[in-house]
Amino acid sequence: MGIYERYEAERPKSRAAYERARRLLPDGVEHDMRVSRPFSIYVERAEGAYKWDVDGHRYVDFIVGHGALLLGQNHPAVIGPVREALELGTHFGASHEAIAEWADRVCRLIPSAEMVRFHSSGTEATMMAIRMCRALTGREQVLKFEAHFHGWHDYATVAVYEPFDTPTSAGVPGAVQDTVTAIPVNDAAQVRDTLAAREYACVILEPSGAGGGSAPTDVEWVRELRAICTEMDVPLIFDEVITGFRYSPGGYQQEFGITPDLTTLAKILAGGFPGGAVAGRREFVELIEMRDESGWNRGKRISHPGTFNANPLSATAGVACLDYIADGKAHAVANRMGDRLRAGMKKVIDVRGLKAEVFGSHSFVRLSFTGRRDRGAMGSLGAPLQTAMMLHGVHIGGGGGMTSAVMTEDDIDLTIDAFEQSLKLLGEEGLLVD
């Protein structure tokens, strides 16, 4: 039986759930990355480092809530306070004390944070950060970097996948795309020339490099970028939606000592609940309160409603999570698990003599079977490898995943073994070129 046949045979309930969902929902899932072949698993419950599908299979979880779960699933330090908050109400349609507590944790941990505004996702955070820069500078053009991901709003669809001159998504007006310029990373002269050629409202990047550092940037280049932006008076946004609170308690910027004007945050920020934030220099964030005598001020003020902004459950989870991870101990465990997994996978690759590579830093573990480190890194092997790993009790993306602080060495060793067995299956199907 082939990989896909065995997966189908062992997952009748997921198959039924998928077929039902697909009648009403495109792809039968709610995120581009949740599409797997021949169909996605449907999860019933999760705990710690594991999740269980509706057919009763257990998986070690390397998706970790798309990066939101540094502390794994249902961590008691987060879920305990959330249970108590749940009893008090889920939405007050009014302010509550946890918002200032949450902002206080963000400002204590993130070096660039002087003032904070919360949203419900990372997409909203990057959209807002760009708007703040446009509002403050009165300029429109945005400079981003090829392959860097900033969510799914219109401006973020520019230059994510190759070919970079074709937007990632249909349905985005050309006039919107034209307000975003994308260039490659690691070339300071090109940044300087581009910024000199016309007026820019901001520069935005994933400071670690695209995909949480899959295609790493050179730290010295990021440092120079900071200096160029200061010199040329262009605001710099670090999109730390995935690296924030994951690279270190204070994200990439704390680890490397480079401070942007604005930082976008989400994922770990809200401890596994929906949440996002822009944190940074006061003069940008306070544009939201820039009222005039009319009480509104269309010329200067940034408008920002949002039904679920800083809802009590997300705020409570966020405070609890940020308190728990502030000492860096969770990062040390997750990073150690990352080191162990990278080393183990490398050994498997070397023993088989494959032209493949395992890379990544901190809690990011990435694979490449093409010599490339971008989104094409897995070629056509991503889908069958992901399915084969699920056959062996591991849920990880086709091109890798992230570790969490609740994984044990046994979980990692099981995963290395699953990788070995999966490559064997891919080999038997003639998919591997040695």
What is the contact surface with ligand PMP in residues (CB under 6 A)?
66, 121-123, 126, 149-151, 206, 239, 241-242, 266, 276
Give the integer Cα–Cα distance in Å for 228 and 251: 22
Find the shortest distance in angstroms from Cβ 42 to ligand PMP: 21
Indicate the residue among 149 and 245 with the shorter CB distance to ligand PMP: 149
Per-residue burial over 4-42, b if 16 or more Cβ lie within 10 Å, else e, is beebbebbeebbebbeebeeeeeebbeeeeeebeebbbb
Cα(394)–Cα(419) distance, rounded to whole angstroms? 9
With beta carbons less than 8 A apart as the criterion, state whether 173 and 155 touch: no
In our burial notation (b when 16+ CB lie closer than 10 A, e otherwise), range 380-393 reads ebbbbbbbbbbbbb
Q: How far is the CB of 151 from ligand PMP (least distance, A)?
A: 4
| CA dihedral sign, ordered 278, 280, 283, 286 | positive
Burial (Cβ within 10 Å: 0-12, 13-18, ≥19) of residue 198? exposed
389 in Cβ contact with 396 (< 8 Å): yes
Structure tokens at 112: 């660039």
Q: Rounded to whole angstroms, how far apart are CA atoms 241 and 176?
A: 23
- Looking at the Cβ atoms of 123 and 254, the one nearer to ligand PMP is 123
Q: At closest approach, how far in Å is the CB of 271 from ligand PMP?
A: 14
Structure tokens belonging to residue 331: 């990062």
Q: Of 266, 288, 270, 229, whose CA–CA distance to 152 is shortest?
A: 266
- C-beta of 126 vs 363, nearer to ligand PMP: 126
Least CB distance to ligand PMP at residue 276 (A): 6
State the minimum distance, in angstroms, from the CB of residue 5 to ligand PMP: 32
What dihedral do alpha carbons 122, 125, 131, 137 form, nearest 10°?
-120
Which position's Cβ is nearest ligand PMP?
122
Q: For residue 47, what are the β-bridge partners?
A: 50
Q: Report the nearest approach of ligand PMP to the CB of residue 253 (Å).
A: 14
Q: Whose Cβ is closer to ligand PMP: residue 153's or residue 424's?
A: 153
Least CB distance from residue 132 to ligand PMP, whole Å?
16
Q: State the nearest-atom distance from the C-beta of 127 to ligand PMP, in Å.
A: 9
User: What is the rounded distance in angstroms from the CA atom of residue 17 to the CA atom of residue 4?
Assistant: 17
**Closer residue to ligand PMP in complex, CB, 44/154:** 154
Q: Is residue 259 within 8 Å of residue 235, measured between CB atoms? A: no
Cβ 79 to ligand PMP shortest distance, Å: 20
Which residue number, 219 or 414, has a Cβ lying nearer to ligand PMP? 219
Question: Which of residues 121 and 141 has its CB atom nearest to ligand PMP in the complex?
Answer: 121
Q: Is residue 250 helix, strand or coil?
A: coil
Place of tokens 């200032």: 100
The number of residues making up the chain comes to 434
Cross-sheet strand order for the sheet of 43-47: 43-47, 50-53, 58-61, 394-395
Q: Which is nearer to ligand PMP, 14 or 243 (CB)?
A: 243
Q: Which is nearer to ligand PMP, 123 or 181 (CB)?
A: 123
Q: Between residues 66 and 346, which has the closer beta carbon with respect to ligand PMP?
A: 66
Closest approach of ligand PMP to the CB of residue 252, in Å: 11
